[in-house]
Amino acid sequence: MNAHAFTFAGHDLQALACGALFWPEQELLCVSDLHLGKSGRIARRAGLLVPPYETLDTLARLDAALAETRARTVVCLGDSFDDLAAAGGLSEEESLWIARLQAGRRWIWIEGNHDPGPVDVGGQHRESLSLGGIVFRHIADETASGEISGHYHPKARIALRGRSLARPCFLVSAQRIILPAFGTYTGGLDCRDAAFAPLLKPPVFAVLTGTRATPFKLKQPTKTTPLR
Amino acid sequence: MRDLPPVFQEWFARRGWALHPHQSEMLARAESPCQLLIAPTGGGKTLAGFLPTLAELGQNPAPGLHTLYISPLKALAADIKRNLRTPVEEMGLAIRIEDRTGDTPQTRRKRQRADPPHILLTTPESLALLLSYEDCARTFAGLQRVVVDEIHALAESKRGDQLMLCLSRLQALCPGLRRVGLSATVEDPSAIATYLARNPDPCDILQADPGPEPDIAMLHTEEAPPWAGGGAAHAIPAVLEQIKAHRTTLIFHNTRAQAELFFHNLWLANAEGLPIGIHHGSLAREQRAKVEAAMVRGDLRAIVCTGSLDLGIDWGDVDLVIQIGAPKNVKRLVQRIGRANHRYNAPSKALLVPANRFEVVECLAALEAVKARDLDGEPRGPGPRDVLCQHILIRACAGPFSAEDLYDEVRSVGAFRDLSRAAFDACLDYCATGGYALRRYDQWQRLMQQPDGTWRLRDPRSAARIRMNIGTIQDTDRLKVRLRGRRGGKPLGEVEEAFAATLTPGDTFLIGGEIVRYEGLREMVVEVTRRADRKPKIATFMGTKFATSTQLTHRMLALLNAPDWPQLPAHTADWLALQREVSRMPRADRLLCESFPHQGRAHFCVYGFAGRNAMQTLGLLLTQRMEQEGLAPLGFVATDYATLIWGLDPVEDPAPLFTADGLRDGLETWLAGNAVMKRTFRASAIIAGLIERNSTGARKSGRQTAFSSDILYDTLRKYDPDHLLLQITREEALRGLVDFGRIEEMLARIRGRIDHLRCPHVTPLAAPLLLEVGKVPVKGAAEERLLREAEEALLAEAGIG
């Protein structure tokens, strides 16, 4: 399994290359910002018919991560559905797949800004979750500590001998972890964006996702907004 | 023959003017349903096109639209409006002439739809927009003639394909519509005629007298051109001398970046302070308008410019054209040369300035081609289906339509005459449902079929969004550059987003001839401050690069294989002689490959002469195959003439690398991950209405950004590999940036005859490639290796891991 292992709030955690966070002791897998049903929402709202495969693709990758980690608990950190109507608009195949993934597992949907209310899909629905001194919520709370959140879709751009590479990433500081978006149709916010400055006190590590989970020490977030 | 009405005859006589023979002939052929005029620059083409209209309207100025004039440039439409209004007013004719472009105020545009002028001057995009309104039949009622100016330029682009689809629509609305095309000198007039005509109707061609031979030569410079690069800084003193010796000089460049650099250097050397301006498409409109006005007043001695000045605006008294860098394309060169002496009977004077040694050979080949009047042209192939998809959506905006009628209309366009019904239906299905194997959009279809069989928009409100995205010009990845100021400083121009992404605060670069410092990005505007430095830190921003035409590369290969080169300057002839001594000359019917070690790495140079884009693609395909064979390629660089690859292990036998099937398979695999393919997909996806131009560009700071079209591309590749848009992307890959068609052309002429020479060191022809900028690193395993290397170093530094 390709992962970067680290200690956070006294617990051993693993940032997986696929963008999910695994907590072995709790057999818990945490993913954020799945944005299931995004293509349907785009069709409804903008009339654009983008390839309707992102939900299946996201579920396939989640399935693989569950098979790999054998997690018994799944925490979806909010924005799991692109909006509340998207949760109702899943195809039969997609609904059955979710049900199959949920079978025999504790499944927690945390509310996000895209899916603020309970959705008609199995599992528990909560605003946040506390476990072993760690709190899971969608949007980071500046004052919290030992917190795991999502929402921002962080992405890091690094320079490698004159070449630059941008990938979704975990951002890890002593107080909190911000997860990358797991959903297929998701963009990213550069980790040097000013939005991260009040949330992340140095030292901050970015763990790049992709084929390998690669940790980098981040320089102080800057005030200017770099591109992408 | 039809006579000029008396009021016109008097007006011409008062000015002492006489019509050119081709202008009278156009008047005589006024009734022709389809008429193409081919005349050199300065031949009074536009007047020839308008004479029948003016004559008809002069006699009977009945209200309503009589003539629609289409030009590829907004500026040209405005220019023609001025030029037409003067004689019309002086003759006291009651003819209303108006232009309509993206710059026309909303209120006037609205009025033009309800109460059109006699003559409307517009662009292909504005016409497409007009045709998207439900009242378009009323707007165009009574339309007699459509005049397409600079049709040779439009015929090379998707803008032209869109225009011809629009003409098929117009012809359906106005069955008696007469078509007129005005073209500069082209290699194949019948191709343009087929392009213009309503298929399968014929088109009359009128060829004007081509005028005297141009006076054209290579500029002699004291200093020899450098081995590589495109700046031509060595030629600055000689160019300044030429500016001094002429009234007005146009200095053409192939890219905006080169124009900026050259202008900067010219200005530094301009001790006498000659008035010199710069004009290119990345400059802010205000900046360009200033230069244009100064030019018209005759205030400027020289203008450094790019293709933005290629087309027919009359700049008055230009008596010298200088082309910096190899012309890449003989036809374009001839048209540029024509800008000097914008009078019909005088020879045009032009000088070519090669920017490096290879370009010396290319310039000589181009001179020979111009003398032989041997123009180049690449056939464009069938009409692009992304443009057809947009046309279907535009048609739907104007109201319900029958698929049969639209299919018949579309096939009356020359480029689409062989379109099968199945191919058309695939486009219609894509527009209606997305065309996915997974039918998910039943509820949200874009187009719906009504009980009577006709198609309409499901949601009429979507018409507004479709109209916002009309057009085929790719300008989505540009960012505005402004001087930093309290309420948004002075606009300077635009840079490509990819260039902006490489900037960090403090970097300096050139724009509009001045050096600016990058301060930051605010709401997708690049903010800069002025700097007094003499040298920019970052010399260049990217720009479209033309590939040398097939015809010109063939001439170059013939030149290289001449027994000696008395026509070439000694520095270049000596260089070629040395190549012949230590290696061989590239030939058209064989492929020369050289292997040599350099700086501890194995180098492999392929002289394919297939043009920059194809040689770039060849580099990507060859390195991919070399990686499969474990040769560990590290990178490559491509020019119009050759591709140089370096890696850890030498190539032993190049033959297996060049099998046509292998390269085609490679292209298919390569389609998966390549940035150029993703850009190609993105362009087609925007044109076909899969994604929106504005939504993809609008990313504000402080929010997670919209996901990119790259993700859609990857998803389609994975789940729906036969989807229409992927088919279109593959078709596009044969031309344009990927240009695989040129690789096929190369393979066909070498027919497996590969000469592989092992040389002890760098060869004369390969040496310039080592100095080229734009080296491409090989992605894949190499990237992961670099990442691991960097990771280990960083982990050690950070004390973790």
The 3-class SS string of A13-78 reads EEEECCCCEEEHHHCEEEECCCCECHHHHHHHHHCCCCCCCHHHHHHHHHHHHHHHHCCCEEEECC
Residues of A in contact with B787 (CB under 8 A): 160, 165, 212, 214
- Reduce the DSSP state of residue A134 to 3 states and report it: strand
Decide: A170 and A15 in contact? Cβ < 8 Å. Answer: yes
> Within an 8 Å CB–CB cutoff, is residue A5 touching chain B?
no
Chain B residues in contact with A152 by the CB 8 A cut-off are 704
Do A215 and B800 count as a contact with CB atoms less than 8 A apart? Answer: yes
Q: Is B798 on the interface with A (CB under 8 A)?
A: yes
A47 to B695: CB separation less than 8 angstroms, yes or no: no
Mean pLDDT for B349-372 is 92
- Residues in chain A, total: 228
CA distance to A45, B463, B467, B470, per residue, from B460 (Å): 13, 6, 12, 16
Shared-domain flag, residues B113 and B234 = no
Contacts of B705 in chain A (CB under 8 A): 153, 187-189, 228
Please indicate, yes or no, if residue B301 is contained in any of the structural domains: yes
Same domain as B397, residue B365: no
Which chain B residues are within 8 Å of A44, Cβ to Cβ? 444
Mean pLDDT of B318-339: 86
Among A182, A212, A225, pick the best mutation site for testing chain B contact (most B Cβ within 10 A): A225
pLDDT band per the 50, 70, 90 thresholds, residue A183: very high
Highest mean pLDDT among B98-107, B306-315, B688-697: B98-107
pLDDT of residue B202: 94
Give the pLDDT score at B734.
Answer: 75
Q: CB distance from B800 to chain A under 8 Å?
A: yes
Paired tokens of B13: 């006589």
Same domain assignment for residues B57 and B159: yes
Mean per-residue pLDDT of chain B:
86
Is pLDDT above 50 for A162? Answer: no
CB under 8 Å to B650, separation ≥6 — which residues? B595, B597, B602, B604, B631
Whether B490 and B600 share a structural domain: no
For residue B286, what pLDDT is reported?
Answer: 81
> Taking Cα atoms as reference points, which of B618, B482, B601 lies closest to residue B547?
B618
Please report whether residue B592 resides in a domain.
yes
Contact B706, B712 (CB under 8 A): no
A90 to chain B, closest Cα gap in Å:
10
Q: Which residue among B346, B371, B396 closes a domain?
A: B371
Q: What is the mean pLDDT of residues B13-39?
A: 92
Considering only CA atoms, which of B205, B184, B176, B208 is closest in space to residue B29? B205
Contacts of A195 in chain B (CB under 8 A): 702
User: Lowest-pLDDT range, A132-136, B198-202, B337-341, B626-630?
Assistant: B337-341
pLDDT of the residue at B475: 55
State the average pLDDT over residues A170-187: 96
Task: List chain B residues with CB under 8 Å of A158.
Answer: 790
B600 lies in which domain range? 580-785
What pLDDT, on a 0 to 100 scale, did the predictor assign at position B543? 46
Least confident range of A178-192, B460-474, B647-661, B765-779: B765-779
Q: How far is A217 from chain B (nearest CA, A)?
A: 7
CA angle, B273 then B278 then B281, to 5°: 170
Cβ–Cβ gap B699/A228 under 8 Å: yes
- How many residues are present in chain B? 801
Say whether B702 and A160 touch across the interface (CB within 8 A): no
Selection from B266, B232, B231, B230 nearest residue B249 by Cα: B266
- pLDDT by residue (tens digit) across A87-110? 888 999 999 999 999 999 999 999
Residue A8's domain comprises: 3-218
Determine, yes or no, domain membership for B539.
no
Residues B681 and B775 grouped into a single domain: yes
B794 occurs within a structural domain: no
User: In this predicted structure, what is the pLDDT of residue B791?
Assistant: 63
pLDDT for residue A177: 97
Assess whether B135 and B168 both reside in one domain. Answer: yes
- Establish if B441 touches chain A: CB-CB under 8 angstroms: yes
C-beta atoms of B720 and A212 within 8 A: no
Q: Does B512 reside within a domain?
A: yes
How many distinct structural domains can be found in chain B?
5
Distance (Å, whole) CA B182 – CA B43: 11
A97 vs B669 pLDDT, higher one: A97
Q: Which helix (H) or strand (E) holds B563?
A: none
pLDDT digits (tens, 9 = 90+) for B412-431: 999 999 999 999 999 999 99
Same domain, B728 and B654: yes
Contacts with B211 (C-beta within 8 Å, 6 or more apart), sequence order: B40, B42, B43, B344, B345, B347
A residues 208-227 closer than 8 Å to B (CB): 211-212, 214-217, 224-227
Residue A221 has what pLDDT? 47
Chain A contact for B506, CB < 8 A? no
Which of B441, B497, B711 is facing A185, going by the closest CB pair? B711
On whether any CB of chain A is under 8 Å from the CB of B449, the answer is no
* Count of domains for chain A: 1
- More confident site: B400 or B509: B400
pLDDT of residue B259: 86
Sign of CA dihedral B67, B68, B72, B73: positive
Question: What percent of chain B has pLDDT above 90?
Answer: 49
CA distance linking residue B606 with residue B345, whole number of Å: 46
Mean pLDDT of all residues in chain A?
90
- Position B497 confidence tier, pLDDT thresholds 50, 70, 90: low
Domain CATH for B352:
3.40.50.300
pLDDT in tens, B670-687: 666 666 678 788 889 999
Quickly tell me which residue has 């098929």 as its tokens: B168
Cβ contacts of A107 within 8 Å, gap of 6 or more: A73, A74, A76, A101, A122, A123, A124
* CB neighbourhood size of A76 (10 A): 26
pLDDT at B292 over 70: yes
Residue pairs between chains A and B whose CB atoms are closer than 8 Å = 135
**B132-184 pLDDT, tens digit each:** 999 999 999 999 999 999 898 898 889 999 999 999 999 999 999 999 999 98
Q: Are B406 and B360 in contact (CB under 8 A)?
A: no
Dmax of chain A from CA atoms?
49
Asked whether residue B727 is assigned to any structural domain, the reply reads yes
Same domain, residue pair B708 and B628:
yes
Instruction: Give me the pLDDT at residue A211, please.
Output: 85
Per-residue pLDDT, averaged over A143-167, amounts to 82
* pLDDT score, position A164: 58
Query: Poorest-confidence range of B106-115, B214-223, B251-260, B506-515?
Result: B506-515
Q: Which of B446, B715, B791 sits opposite A47 (nearest CB)?
A: B446
Among chain A residues, the shortest Cα distance to B519 is held by A224
Q: Does B500 touch chain A (CB under 8 A)?
A: yes
Asked if B178 and B111 sit in the same domain, the reply is yes
Cα of B434 to nearest chain A Cα, Å:
5
What's A160's domain CATH number? 3.60.21
Last residue of a domain, one of B468, B503, B521: B468
Structure tokens at B278: 């710069």
Whole-number Å distance between alpha carbons of B693 and B582: 53
Bigger pLDDT: B696 vs A171: A171
Euclidean distance between CA atoms B681 and B733, whole angstroms = 9
Query: Is residue B764, in this structure, part of any structural domain at all?
Result: yes
**Whether A185 and B786 lie within 8 Å, measured CB to CB:** no
Closest residue, chain B, to A184 (C-alpha): B711
CB count within 10 Å of CB A119 equals: 20
Q: What is the mean pLDDT of residues B389-399?
A: 98
CA distance, residue B500 to nearest chain A CA (Å): 8
Residue B243 lies in a domain: yes
CA–chain centroid gap for A134, Å, is 16
Check if A182 contacts B (Cβ < 8 Å).
no
Report the distance separating Cα B560 and Cα B567, nearest Å: 12
Nearest residue to B492 via CA among B501, B480, B502, B500: B480
Band (B530; pLDDT cuts 50, 70, 90): confident
Query: What residues of A are in contact with residue B708 (Cβ under 8 Å)?
Result: 187
Using the beta-carbon criterion (under 8 Å), do B444 and A181 form an inter-chain contact?
Answer: no
Residue in B closest to A214 by C-alpha:
B791
Does residue B10 sit in helix, strand or coil? helix
